[in-house]
Chain A
Amino acid sequence: MKNIIHETEYLAYVYLKGFGFADEQIIPLVELGKKNLSEALTNLKDILNKDTYSIKELDDALHALKGLLLQLGNTQLAEELNAIRLELNNPKTVTSIETLLFNDTKI
């Protein structure tokens, strides 16, 4: 999770800088983005840790996360999440999500 937040922070900064915004405008926005991202990821993790959860619940959480990532310029991860959303019935999906979002051991 930390890796994702860190990566998105960097991408968001570059993304917004590309539009010519000043640091004073970007930095607080990126901090807010990190906070929202952390909340969205925690929410998703909580759902995955539940004994039972509905596909809709999971889908909504992924959707929200995807939208946020897109807004913050992390298009690649958003697209990967979207691909996972197409296979929510697959039992391996949970593993894919965990590997993609919560594996902080990879560099």
Chain B
Amino acid sequence: MRTKLCIEDKQIIIKRIRRTFKIDDIEAEQFYNEMEESLFNKNKNFFYSVKYNMHFQKDTYFSEKVLQFAITTFSFLLKKEIYHSEEKKIKNFFQEYLKIILVEPSTYAKEIERRRDNVQNILQHVSEQLNQSLDVQQLMIANISHEMRTSLNTISGYIALIDEKNTLDTENKGYLEKANHAAHTLESLVSDILDVSKINSGQMEIKEESFWLDEMIEKAIDNITFILNKKNLTFKTDIEFFSQKIIGDYQHIMEIIINLLSNAIKYTDIGFVHLKVTNLEETDNTIKILFEIKDSGIGMTPKQLKKIFNPFSRFEKERQGVGLGLHIASKLASKMGGEITVESTADKGSTFRFTIKVKQDKQNNIDMSNFILCFLNNTKETKVSQQKLDFLKQFNAKVTCFKDEKTFINYLTSSKNDTPHIISILSYQNAYDRFNALIHYLKTLDKFKKSYFIAEGINPKSTLNYFDKVYERFTPITTYIQILDTIKKSNKNTISSNIKALNILAVDDIETNLEILKLFITNKYPHVTLDLATGGYEAIGMYKTQNYDMILMDLKMPGLSGFQTLEKLKNIKNPPASYALTADVYKSTYDQVIEAGFIDLLEKPLQLDILFATIEKAIDEKYNS
């Protein structure tokens, strides 16, 4: 029984192997020996050896070569008469060869494809499930946030109520302001959650509004005062004076500053946190602002730095927060065309830089003519103060400045000088108690009854209860503007309160609507008489016996409609200014209303400012025409 091929054939096949597979003589001979062993001894090792090479071979044409070799060697051997007796063996061998090295991998490939389809199927289902879950989550977040916001509005409402009563001293007013800020902070947290939800779903809106940067910064700092006070850190600010309002997304920019400051405080146990705000570049219309927050905190390693803006990247679980802040901040910055960068060294501290380019709002309707402001600054900080004074003078304010305490006091106490509307003091810490006592005295004098006293750069632990406003750092421009606005308004109110009463007839078939109207109007205008009629006929009855200065009429009423009622009133006597009230406002409604003889249409629910403006107009017409 043959156990080998003949030598010549062996050499031919080895040559063929070498040529086909581009291997050397030794490898080719080894290949041949394995093949011969398998051919004659029914040993299958050769097949698996080839199959292994095919599977792990990087040469993409290897399978082709394997097949080519098989076919050529097979036909070569079969043609030779000397192997005639081994024909069956040779055929079986090559059948097995093809089965193992070609058919089996093909079956395996099909199996792989089947498994791959399974995987796709699973991935699709899981993905759908995750999306559904995400939708539910988003809805839940939105709903919960809405509920939380409602409660927060209530808290803010009560705080506003207490504030309006104006019965608190400065210190308690300060606490109230802090409580208000805290409520707003909580609202911000709720917003955070909503923000992430919106960011993830691509619904984040960037608003554009005009605001003073220093006021925003002051608010941002106020927001973090509570957490700052819990730690023994030095907090310094170096804020340039910006003489124009900027146009940008107030809320989001403040959110970013608050976030960066909060993080700096959170991750700093000893040392400092510094906030620096710089005007990097200014053109006619735009300004590039840099907010730099530097701390001496725990810092970050290069590995941590890489992930700093990823969501939920919190470095120490003991530190509060879920790790969304920086992620949101960076997304927001990017959405607003800005950028947040960071430098950090572990155990030494970090510096976060937020830059943003915004438009400047050159439209200033500020008019400070006839307003007198008096400043004392006997400290070394003069640059920003001077810029502020120049700014105020720009709007025609009469500004007097003192560097010397004695001269300042003499000025105030002298009867010769006009009483300043605003008196602002920036001095050394130990001087404020004296000034507090001084203001206590000054406020007993008639001439200072309407003046506002402001202290800047005070120690937060000081009790300066006679100052009207106290600031740890600087007074924002908006404070002066708001105070002066308040003064203007109170002057106007004094005029308003002298005017005589107004008679109003309100007609609506629903009592609640009438009572709510009454509540709002009489609260604001205690001298207004408001008669309520629950229908057209009742209104006519009242109208016959009274003279009214104004009519507020619901349009849709059972029985006589608003239109029909007015028509009937006209038949009695010329009606006064009559306003239609309706919840359905279309253009056609407005046309109908004017055609019917109403002056205007007020939409339900009533916007108070519109309602009050309407009443003011009526008052004005009654007493000034």
Q: Which residues of A contact B (CB under 8 A)?
A: 14, 16-21, 25, 29, 32-33, 35-37, 40, 60, 63-64, 66-68, 70-73, 75, 78
Contacts and interface: CB of A to CB of B under 8 A. Distances in A.
Contacts of A63: 556, 583-584
A17 B154 contact: yes
Contacts of B509: 64
Interface stretch (B114-122, B156-164, B291-299, B336-344): B156-164
28 contacts: A14-B150, A14-B153, A16-B516, A16-B519, A17-B154, A17-B161, A18-B154, A18-B157, A20-B160, A20-B161, A21-B519, A21-B523, A25-B519, A32-B511, A35-B511, A60-B556, A60-B558, A64-B509, A64-B510, A67-B513, A67-B582, A67-B583, A70-B605, A71-B512, A71-B513, A71-B604, A71-B605, A71-B606
Contacts of B158: 17
B235 interface: no
Interface of B: 150, 153-154, 157-158, 160-161, 164, 509-513, 515-516, 519-520, 523, 554, 556, 558, 582-584, 604-606, 608
Contacts of B513: 67-68, 71
Contacts of A32: 511-512, 515
A107 to B, nearest CB: 13
A70 B154 CA distance: 18
A36 B511 contact: yes
A19 B520 CA distance: 9
Contacts of B583: 63, 66-67, 70, 78
A64 B604 CA distance: 11
Contacts of B554: 67
A29 B605 contact: no
Given A19-B608, A33-B512, 15 more contacts: A14-B153, A14-B157, A17-B161, A18-B154, A29-B512, A32-B512, A33-B516, A36-B512, A63-B583, A63-B584, A67-B583, A68-B510, A68-B513, A71-B513, A71-B605
A63 to B, nearest CB: 6
A66 B555 CA distance: 14
B510 A67 contact: yes
A33 B515 CA distance: 9
B606 to A, nearest CB: 8
B519 A29 contact: yes
Contacts of B558: 60
Nearest to A72: B512
A37 B513 CA distance: 11
A-B pairs, 3 with minimum CB distance:
A70-B605, A67-B583, A18-B157
B559 to A, nearest CB: 12
A52 to B, nearest CB: 19
Mostly helix, strand, loop or mixed at chain A's interface? helix
Given A17-B154, A36-B511, A78-B583, A71 B519 contact: no
A17 B155 CA distance: 10
A68 B512 contact: yes
A65 to B, nearest CB: 9
Contacts of A75: 605
A36 B164 CA distance: 32
A57 B185 CA distance: 48
Nearest to A39: B510
Nearest to B556: A63
A43 B521 CA distance: 30
Contact of B157 (A20, A60, A68): A20
Contacts of A78: 583
Contacts of B516: 16, 29, 33, 71-72
Q: Which of the listed residues A21, A35, A71, A78 has the most CB atoms from chain B within 10 Å of its own CB?
A: A71
A5 to B, nearest CB: 12
B513 to A, nearest CB: 5
A70 B608 CA distance: 13
A14 B604 contact: no
B342 to A, nearest CB: 41
Contacts of B582: 67
B162 to A, nearest CB: 10
Q: Which of the listed residues B510, B513, B554, B604 has the most CB atoms from chain A within 10 Å of its own CB?
A: B510
Nearest to B154: A14
B251 to A, nearest CB: 20
Contacts of B608: 19
Contacts of A36: 510-512
B510 A29 contact: no
Given A60-B556, A68-B510, A18 B153 contact: yes
A57 to B, nearest CB: 11
A70 B604 contact: yes
A82 B416 CA distance: 66
Q: Which of the listed residues B512, B516, B519, B605 has the most CB atoms from chain A within 10 Å of its own CB?
A: B512
A61 B515 CA distance: 20
A67 B557 CA distance: 11
B55 to A, nearest CB: 62
Q: Which of the listed residues A16, A20, A63 has the most CB atoms from chain B within 10 Å of its own CB?
A: A20
A64 B515 contact: no
A41 to B, nearest CB: 12
B414 to A, nearest CB: 41
Nearest to A17: B157
Contacts of B605: 70-71, 73, 75
B169 to A, nearest CB: 21
Contact of B556 (A16, A19, A20, A64): A64
Nearest to A40: B510
A35 B512 CA distance: 9
Contacts of B157: 14, 17-18, 20
B520 A67 contact: no
Q: Which of the listed residues A17, A37, A64, A72 has the most CB atoms from chain B within 10 Å of its own CB?
A: A64
A47 to B, nearest CB: 13
A66 B513 CA distance: 11
